[in-house]
Structure 1
Amino acid sequence: MSERYLPIAEHGLIGDLRTAAVVGTDGGISWFCAPRFDSPSVFGALLDADDGGRWALHPVCEVTNRHQFYIPDSNILVTRFLTEDGIVEVQDFMPIRCRRDPDHRQRLVRRVVNIRGHVRVSTDVRPRFDYGRAAHRTETDGNGVVFDGPGLRLGLRTSIPLEPTDGGIAGEFDLGPGDTAVFVLEVLDGDPPGGPLDDEVEDLFRATVGFWRSWIEQSTYTGRWREMVHRSALLLKLLTHEPSGAIIAAPTCGLPEQVGGERNWDYRHVWIRDAAFSLYALLRLGFTCEAEDFFGWLTDRFDDPGDGDLGPLRVMYTIDGEPAREEEVLGHWEGYRGSAPVRIGNAAARQLQLDIYGELIDSIYLFDKYSAGISHQAWHNLVQVLDWLFEHWDQPDEGIWEARSGRQNHTFSRLMCWVGIERMIRVARRRGLPADLGRWTSVRDEIYEQIQTRGWSAEENSFSQHYDHFVPDASLLLMPLVKFCSPTDPRFVSTVAALERSLVVDSLVFRYDPEEAPDGVDGAEGTFSICSFWYVEALARTGRVEDARLALEKMFTYANHVGLYAEQIGLTGDQLGNFPQAFTHLSLISSAINLDRALDG
């Protein structure tokens, strides 16, 4: 089965700030949802090679080598094939805006360019609407072909003739030196457009390159790891839904944390947990407009009545700020390399995760500190959220890792409740805002003392995942990052040592041990790359700067060929989980910035 699927790492990503497409080093588009990140898939071969739908594009002759890279400072992806007959490139991109397209027609553009020799190329476009569950009509006309599915019409225009196939269109064509062939797949709202295709694609290409380069030029980062930090920033922008300002966790669903296992989740949502990290990264890199847009999206969530006993905030939202969809299994798909079930929606949306309140308030604290500041109404809403938190912080929850085995008294959840109250006190004092500081301070100190007593294991000389029995947990690496303790506090230093004994393998860090802390899901998992970058930052803050630098440089070697990370690293060094993951790249940015600062003294 493995030969039918590329490794997860053998892919790049393109997008238009509304949706994205996953492109393999074999030239195939194996994941594409339209018109939004969270729409049903049109191409889903990443999760079912036979019935998911795919757009193949590759040379017919023997390929001796393949390379994939981004046009510098952009999200335009190039896949180069070295063949026995010559060299050919496929340029993939999705236009953002351009002078000729003020209303933004949503398009996926593919341009094949012959570099040397004479190469015969094959393409096969086989869409499968609604995760492969819905039939569609294929209609050809003078401008190309139209795929008409439920609630979505796609038009494909090409510069070369193709023939209809079973539900798709395919063909082969020859390219000599300097020849090109172009394809434009677009979401239709009316009749397919006409006009010279080659000139249109060239204009779109130049405009798209210009957009990305103008955007990344706003970055204020001048540190040692510019290439990796800027690639992470470009990905963060790519995962932004421009109309709403929301940032999704990943553009894919169902990619396994263990090949053949059942740890397969849908990450096409906006997690409140990611908010603080997102705003921190955007503000530190100088992208204030994106920070303001995301802040606006966050504060709009105060208008949501919440979810009963789960509180005034939800764990995750759709990009529109609506409740996440109920979890559903796509039983007709086999899953990536047989990793079933394939899930859409996410049942974790119905969990109690108390840490999200601290993360939300911390993100607003950062915005208030580094940007325009919060409004009277936002402050009023935050005080109401805090009132709820005072009544509910001291109870079990499912925690940051979204365990499905029941609730525990999680140390990290208590830590982030402390962060939420502490940040509110800071904002009130700095801005002179109305606050019951006596009560707030008292509850903050109560949480602090509880963590220091019940969250601390004297026997293991370490903080623990939860209060009931000792379990090491990598989320505890954030303690000094959120200013709960000094990074040189003996308790934190010994906690790092305990984590190094149990969860750290070289530069790679497991989030916890599922055997010691069963999470309700069968199977093992890889190391969590976000935890590995947290470890880098913890080392830097504790004064082990050279250890931190080596760990960071090693982590960079686990990125794929275009600098992207999935959620996890497997036993053999392969990437696992949904790809690429925003949270991992956010922690990369944070660790690089703080290690730069430590190295600069």
Structure 2
Amino acid sequence: MAYQQIENYGIIGNMLTSALVGTDGSIDWMCYPHFDSPSIFAGILDENNGGYFKITPLKDNLTKKQFYWPDTNVLITRFMSKDGVCEVVDYMPVGKTKIGNNENRLVRWVKMIRGKMKIRVECFPSFNYARDTHKVILNSHGAGFYSEILNLGLATSVPLKQEGTGVVAEIEMKCGDTANFVIKELAAKEGCESCFADNVAYEGLVDTIDYWNRWVELCTYKGRWRETVIRSALTLKLLTFAPTGAIVAAPTCSLPESIGGERNWDYRYTWIRDAAFTLYALMRIGFTEEAEHFMQWIDERCHELNPDGSLQLMYGIDGRHDLDEMSLNHLEGYKKSEPVRIGNGAHKQLQLDIYGELMDAVYLYNKYGSAISYDLWTQLRKLVNWVAANWNKKDEGIWEVRGGKQHFVYSKLMCWVALDRALRLSEKRSFPADRTYWIEQRDKIFEEIMEKGWNQEKQSFVQYYGSSTLDAANLMMPLTFFVSPTDKRILSTLEATLKDPEEGGLVSDSLVYRYNVKETDDGLRGEEGTFNICTFWLVEALTRAGRKDKKKLEKARLMFEQMLTYANHLGLYAEETGPHGEALGNFPQAFTHLSLISAAYNLDKALK
């Protein structure tokens, strides 16, 4: 197989795990049984050894089209030629279905729409990030793949033939013909015990469509760009882990931020920051159940504080603390972008901003969701006291730099938010609190940011104390009510940010870099693309400033709608957009989609 562009993929899932399906009909990434389990298909990280599951017609000059069934996470890849039209419908059953009844399965349903074609099926799993060998057993119900840690079945009535470590089939299909292929876990080493009739696969499809349609009906957003907002919400829903309520930052690992570079990270974990933002995005458009489940997860983490009273910045989706990072040197990486990393060493970093995002989410959940418990408040109070005592430390910041700690302005800002929201929440609920101490420290942070985080010569807030480098994270100042959106300092920061990078700014044709990698020692080599979340942050900052300046509101709308054109054919975004408009980084990215929802919500409200 050859590497697809990252933007050529769609995602399917079941809130346990997910899979990336290319426009060529190939599943090139899937971890099983959970998001952070070892991969069974990882062709996106090594085209020769990673493993894949491909269904495609044996035809030259095919026209390909990929789309979601409306308001669902059911993915259809359509192949068209002069001889016929064929569809591969990919879904993971959710809810109660005959083909999956709350079981962890992937279904590929093939249907010949017109004419006739020969369809080729290739399934070559590669277990444990291509580190484990496996045995193949064929029978009349499909194929069984048996490795040391996992037994996997490909259930089908289509006759399969073994080729090396995988299986293949070629099927002559004519108009009206259907076939199905189901990935499922096996227990015994006797091959697949059963396969499914095509009508059962179809009924599972209908039930899954119904599940997603009913979920979307809960959405309260009725404004402009509703279809775009719904797609982002559906994507965020896929990134939730149903058993615990945790939310992964992305379902992939080590997709590069620059082709051939080393900025390749594992995002299949739950960052306090990302998950708190996601909770806020979903809650504001009506999806309160996900917020409730995440708050339960947060409650559990707050009872597992570090010995010094702090929180870890990220956790496993099951709540585990150990996320040790390692490189898989036997995999070449996406388009030879090395190293391929699993685990994430940043979990040991100090990132002070997480407390602000957390307390803001808790405050909003208490206001718009359900009242938090006293027991949770007692744990949050400990965290807030830790923030009050430690906000003046250097940290690695939101961007998880590996070039050394600094007094990052955004980190100080979010410590201010943590104290501010704790004070508001304690007042609203009459909770016991160390108010005098919190107010004193909150005000100290404010004054210090204004004194040390402001660069008089540049007339802008900067990345860290004493620097002259801009940081797009500071666009959050008016969004968190730290300053008015029309404050002279934030307006001046906006103007500085809006300049081209060659002129010291961060914006290139409406796309926003998070910072200038040539000016910031982040401990890594190479370039990176523009950061999609930063573009949406700039849209929001302009939107709020636009309430007094219509030109800024007009600019916000144009920038937002231009950014929508950088989504892929399905409305999905990676972490970054590259210099040629390509998707870079892990995909799809929760950060991007939650910021899209927030920007759309506030921009639509401002335009009314």
* TM-score (normalised: structure 2): 0.96
8 Å CA contact retained: 2:94, 2:100: no
Q: Does 1:24 align with 2:22?
A: yes
Aligned residue in 2 for 1:574? 582
Instruction: Spell out the pairing of 1:167-186 with structure 2 (5 A cutoff).
Output: 167-186=165-184
DSSP-derived class of the 1:31 partner: strand
8 Å CA contact retained: 1:139, 1:146: yes
Q: Give deviations 1:76-124, integer Å, cap 9, x for gaps.
A: 0001111232111110010012254685221110011111111111111
Aligned residue in 1 for 2:561? 553
Aligned counterparts of 1:436 and 1:296: Cα–Cα separation in 2: 25
Structure 2 residue aligned with 1:598, among 581, 598, 606?
606
8 Å CA contact retained: 1:567, 1:581: yes
Change (3 A) 1:364 1:550: same
Instruction: Spell out the pairing of 1:206-285 with structure 2 (5 A cutoff).
Output: 206-285=206-285
8 Å CA contact retained: 2:180, 2:196: no
Q: Which moved more, 1:278-287 or 1:97-106?
A: 97-106
Aligned counterparts of 1:275 and 1:133: Cα–Cα separation in 2: 31
8 Å CA contact retained: 2:93, 2:204: yes
Instruction: Spell out the pairing of 1:70-219 with structure 2 (5 A cutoff).
Output: 70-100=68-98, 104-189=102-187, 192-194=192-194, 196-219=196-219
Aligned counterparts of 1:198 and 1:452: Cα–Cα separation in 2: 66
Structure 2 residue aligned with 1:35, among 33, 36, 52?
33
Aligned counterparts of 1:81 and 1:283: Cα–Cα separation in 2: 38
DSSP-derived class of the 1:266 partner: coil
State the Cα distance separating 1:195 from its structure 2 match.
Answer: 5.8
State the Cα distance separating 1:64 from its structure 2 match.
Answer: 2.9
8 Å CA contact retained: 1:269, 1:324: no
Q: Give deviations 1:492-530, integer Å, cap 9, x for gaps.
A: 000011111110112200000011111001000000000
Aligned residue in 1 for 2:56? 58
State the Cα distance separating 1:194 from its structure 2 match.
Answer: 2.5
Instruction: Spell out the pairing of 1:165-564 with structure 2 (5 A cutoff).
Output: 165-189=163-187, 192-194=192-194, 196-306=196-306, 312-501=310-499, 502-543=505-546, 544-564=552-572
Aligned length: 596
Aligned counterparts of 2:485 and 2:143: Cα–Cα separation in 1: 61
Task: Letter of the 1:352 partner, please give it.
Answer: L
DSSP-derived class of the 1:399 partner: coil
Aligned counterparts of 1:535 and 1:283: Cα–Cα separation in 2: 22
Q: Give deviations 1:432-479, integer Å, cap 9, x for gaps.
A: 111121111111100000000000011100001000221100000000
8 Å CA contact retained: 1:63, 1:84: no
Aligned counterparts of 1:532 and 1:63: Cα–Cα separation in 2: 37
8 Å CA contact retained: 1:159, 1:198: no
Task: Letter of the 1:510 partner, please give it.
Answer: Y
Task: Letter of the 1:521 partner, please give it.
Answer: L
The runs of at least 4 aligned residues of structure 1 exceeding 6 Å deviation read none
8 Å CA contact retained: 1:316, 1:324: no
Aligned counterparts of 2:440 and 2:196: Cα–Cα separation in 1: 70
Identity of aligned residues (%): 50
Q: Which moved more, 1:383-392 or 1:568-577?
A: 383-392
Aligned counterparts of 2:402 and 2:31: Cα–Cα separation in 1: 28
Aligned counterparts of 2:187 and 2:246: Cα–Cα separation in 1: 25
Any unmatched runs of 5+ in structure 1? Answer: none
DSSP-derived class of the 2:109 partner: strand
Aligned counterparts of 2:455 and 2:498: Cα–Cα separation in 1: 16
State the Cα distance separating 1:193 from its structure 2 match.
Answer: 4.4
Task: Letter of the 2:514 partner, please give it.
Answer: R
* TM-score (normalised: structure 1): 0.97
State the Cα distance separating 1:150 from its structure 2 match.
Answer: 2.1
Q: Give deviations 1:52-73, integer Å, cap 9, x for gaps.
A: 0011111111133111000011
Task: Letter of the 2:544 partner, please give it.
Answer: R
Aligned counterparts of 1:491 and 1:453: Cα–Cα separation in 2: 12
8 Å CA contact retained: 1:30, 1:53: yes
Aligned counterparts of 1:111 and 1:103: Cα–Cα separation in 2: 17
DSSP-derived class of the 1:256 partner: coil
Aligned counterparts of 2:334 and 2:408: Cα–Cα separation in 1: 33
Any unmatched runs of 5+ in structure 2? Answer: 500-504, 547-551
Aligned residue in 1 for 2:502? none
DSSP-derived class of the 2:419 partner: helix
DSSP-derived class of the 1:415 partner: helix
Q: Give deviations 1:545-567, integer Å, cap 9, x for gaps.
A: 11111111101000000000000
State the Cα distance separating 1:595 from its structure 2 match.
Answer: 0.3
Task: Letter of the 2:278 partner, please give it.
Answer: S
Aligned counterparts of 2:281 and 2:302: Cα–Cα separation in 1: 23
8 Å CA contact retained: 2:391, 2:412: yes
